[in-house]
Amino acid sequence: MLYTTRGIVFHQLKYAETSVIVKIYTERFGLQSYIVRGIHGRKSKIKPALLQNMSLVDLVVYHREKKEIQELKEIKINRPFYSIPFDVRKAAVFMFINEILNKVIHEEEANESLFEFLYRSVIQLDEQVKGIGKLHLQFLLKLSVYLGFAPVNNFSEGNSVFDLREGKFSSINIHPEYFASLPFSNYISSLMLIDFGHTDKLTIPSKDRTVLLDILLRYYFLHVPGMKEVKSHQVLKSIFND
C-alpha cells in the first residue's frame, strides 16, 4: 500500500551494482530502510542528490509491516538548504548531528514529537546567524529529552555539580569522571533553560566548549546502550577552537 510521509535522510549504502539502500527517519513510520534500484541510470526518477545526508524530504513509499526493507516510489526535497553547504561551521555541526542520530535512533515506529524536533533543528541550523558554535551542545541536551534521559535541571548554588550517572545536579563530587563541576554544570543548566537556537544569549569560551562537548558525549555513552565512538566531534573542536 502506498503512503505519503515527510522524512529526514540519515545515510545510504551501496547495494549490488546499481542500487542503494537508504535509511530515512520518517514522520509516519519511524526509521525505515528503503531500496532504490538503478539510481545511477539515466531513466531513474530518483537522483542521488535527493538522498544526501540530512535532506528534508517528502516521500511516497510502499510500506508493509515487519518488512525489513521497504520500497521508495517517489522522493522530493521539502526544503532546500540555503546556508549549510556554504558555511564550514554549519557543515561541521550538520555532520556531527547526522552522526549522533545514526548512533542513537533505531526505532522502527512513529514518534511525531521527536521527528518534529529533528526537522525543526535542521532548519534552525540552516537559519542560525549567531551562536553556531554552541548549537551542537544544546542539541545534545534537547535531544536527550526525546530519548528519555534528559537531565533534571535542579541546578542551584547548593547543587552545582552535575552527576552524569544520575542525570541531575548534586552537592558532592566523589568520582570526577562521573561529575561535571562549575562552570560546566552551569552551562548545562543554562543550555537547557533557553529555547533551542538562542545560544547567542549564552557565553561559553571556546576552550570550555571543547570540555563541555566531551562531558555531554560521556553522558550519552552512559545512557545509550551500545553507543559507538563518535568521530566528527574532532572536526568541531578543530573548527570552533581556531
Taking every pair of Cα atoms in the chain, the longest distance, rounded to a whole number of angstroms, is 66
Confidence of residue 16 (pLDDT cuts 50, 70, 90): confident
pLDDT above 90 as % of the chain: 73
The pTM (predicted TM-score) of the whole model is: 0.94
Fold of 2-79: OB fold (Dihydrolipoamide Acetyltransferase, E2P) (2.40.50)
Q: Where are the domains of the chain?
A: 2-79, 84-240
| Cβ-based neighbours of 85, under 8 Å, separated by 6 or more | 91
Q: What is the CA radius of gyration of the chain?
A: 19
pLDDT number for residue 180: 94
Q: What is the pLDDT of residues 117-155, one digit of tens each?
A: 999 999 999 999 999 999 999 999 999 999 999 999 999
CA distance 85 to 64: 35
Please determine, looking at this structure, whether the domain spanning 84-240 carries the CATH number 1.10.760.10: no
- pLDDT tens for each residue of 47-64: 778 899 999 999 999 898
In the β-sheet with 161-163, what is the strand arrangement from edge to edge?
168-170, 161-163, 179-180
Give the span between the Cα atoms of 205 and 180, in whole angstroms.
16
Confirm if 192 and 139 have CB atoms less than 8 A apart. Answer: no
Q: Rounded to the nearest 5 degrees, what angle is found at the Cα of 234, between the Cα atoms of 134 and 138?
A: 20
8 Å CB contact between 136 and 122: no
pLDDT at 173 exceeding the cut of 80: no
